Copies of this chain bind each other. A is one copy, B any other.
């Protein structure tokens, strides 16, 4: 493929929205999910994020990045106030509703109501799960780290509740999230379903990789 080269000066000179689209596309396909929270009084909030990343399996830790702006501010406020949040995978059927949660609703409006997604509470976990989501995680806030370079905030949480479709959990612990209809996103606004190419064996020097399927 014939390539364009864009250097640092050209990146800096891009019109703001164009740069936002460009840079958001460059990291590759992203984990995208709905974060459910509630304040102490039970006022619910739901917001879409695409900045999740795996930090470790023991303890099971997941990270995410927050910008200092609404609607992310409400989610962050509730996490600090209550210590709990849910991460709910998005599937094709709820893709538009999930995207709609990024609208800046007036204070007091629940994105669950505004987008017709249903909340549910189970096993005494404080934060609301999204009923329509096939993979749901209950997460306990563990640590906040300020990223001073651009005033964003990293939040680390421990996964303490897991709900997954029973036919998606394989014997070795792998979850077939494609079978659970989980989708991915790229850039700010592009959503994609997936087709599995392969599962590959653990790599060793001088040994041919084999398919695990």
Chain copies in the assembly? 2
Which one of B1, B3, B22, B197 contacts A92 once the chains associate, using CB atoms below 8 Å?
B197
Look across to chain B and name the residue whose beta carbon is closest to the beta carbon of A18.
B173
Given contacts A3-B166, A33-B28, A159-B11, contact A175 B22 (CB under 8 A): yes
A115 and B27 alpha carbons, distance in the complex (Å):
23
Q: Is A118 an interface residue (CB 8 A)?
A: no
Grouping DSSP codes into helix (H, G, I), strand (E, B) and loop, the A interface class, with mixed when no group exceeds half, is mixed
A25 and B193 alpha carbons, distance in the complex (Å):
16
Within 8 A of B (CB), among A149-198: 149-150, 152, 154, 156, 159-170, 172-175, 177-178, 180, 182-184, 186-198
A202 and B190 alpha carbons, distance in the complex (Å):
11
